[in-house]
Structure formats: C-alpha cells, structure tokens
Amino acid sequence: MSTDCEIVYNRDMTETRLERALRAAPRPTPVDALALARLRWLAGERLDMGALAKELGISRATLYSWVGSRERLIGEVLWSFAEQGMAQARAEASGTGADYIVDVFDRFTHANASFAPLRRFIEQDAELALRVLTSKQGPVQERMIAVAHELLAEQVDAGALEPALDVETLAYLLVRVAESFIYSDIITGTEPDVEKAIDVVRVLLHSPPPPPRRPVDG
C-alpha cells in the first residue's frame, strides 16, 4: 500500500547516463595501456603486445589501434620518462640565457645517462633502442628538439640570449650532440661521455654571432 508521499519508480523510464555509468564496469583506455607498459618496461620486461592486451582485457587489434605499433608504444614510454626528467631539470636549473640552458642540459643528460632502466634497455636491445631514441620517425627525438626550441626561444624573447644560429637549427644541433655522446655506445661503440656533450653545448651557445656579410660590389 502506498501513500501520497511515496515516490513510485517507473521502470519504463529511460536509463540515465549516471545509472549506466554506475552499472557498467570500468573500461581500459589508451592511457591505461601506456601506464601498464611503463610498469613492465621499468621492471625490465619485454613489451609483449599480446600479453599487454590480455592484461588490459582488450584485443590485440584494439591495442594496436591505440598505440600504432610496439615500437611507437616503447617510444611513448621512453618519452614519458624523458619529459619528466626535462621538467625536473628545468625546475632546478639556475641562471639565465646560455648559462640556464647549459644547466638544464647538464642536469638532464646526467640523469638520463644514469637512469638504470634506460641503460638496461640499451644493453638488452641496442638496435631497437637506437631506432626509438634517435630516429626522426619516433616521438623522442622530435619532442626533445621541440623542448630545446622552446628553451632557446624563451631566452631569446627575454633578451638573455643572442644565438649565432637560428633557433630551429640550434635546437636540432643541441639534441643531436647530446644523443651522439650519451648513446655513443650504441652509435659508435665508444663509452658515453656526458661531460663532453655539455662542453659542446656550452660552446654552441656561447659562440659569438657571425660578422655581417659585406655587400657584393657590382
């Protein structure tokens, strides 16, 4: 028996979005795939796409549609750590102009060179590591160049830096120099030399601008 104050629930009412959300089980997302891949990579495990898909509760086809390829997923994993390292280096660096940029690169390259999971990855699969870390087709190099460009542009706009080269070229050179010395063991077979990388970065940033060209007579 009902009273006037009772609310009668109409089962024919359209289900609300809230009700559907409460009833539905959480579904994995591409970000979940990256988070799981980070954990597996940190543990030194090979990133097996079938195993990742199974653990996420999705098909291999879905995982590939999310990440593109195993190599691109590894690139995103490496970039996620590099991005964190660069943000920390920028926050801790001091000075202005060339001194600030050198300090950022110094902190970042030392942290990168001593990051045990990265060194282990390089030792386990040097060929794959070289492709992922230094290829222009991967996310790591492209985004590192973008970060270097941002660093340079900030200091130029602030009037603290007058580079001898245009910002685009200099950003590319700074990243390639860092790569060549940090990953020299997989590029040339020599021991990595972070200090030499920083010396070259310092020279590039402190180089005086070239003298103006003389007009051609005629």
Query: What is the b/e burial string over 131-147, where b = at least 16 CB atoms within 10 angstroms of the residue's CB?
Result: ebbbeeebbbbebbbeb
Q: Per-domain residue ranges for the chain?
A: 26-67, 75-206
Position 135 scores a pLDDT of: 87
| pTM to 2 decimal places | 0.81
pLDDT along the chain (218 residues), means of 10: 45 74 81 97 95 96 96 96 96 94 94 92 91 89 96 96 93 93 84 89 75 58
Token representation of residue 93: 């660096």
* Alpha-carbon gap, residue 210 to 213, rounded angstroms: 9
The architecture of the domain spanning 75-206 is Orthogonal Bundle (1.10)
- Sorted by sequence, the CB contacts under 8 Å of residue 173 that are 6+ apart come out as 165, 204
Closest among 79, 72, 82 to 115, alpha carbons compared: 82
* Alpha-carbon gap, residue 31 to 86, rounded angstroms: 21
The answer to whether the CB of 50 falls within 8 A of the CB of 83 is: no
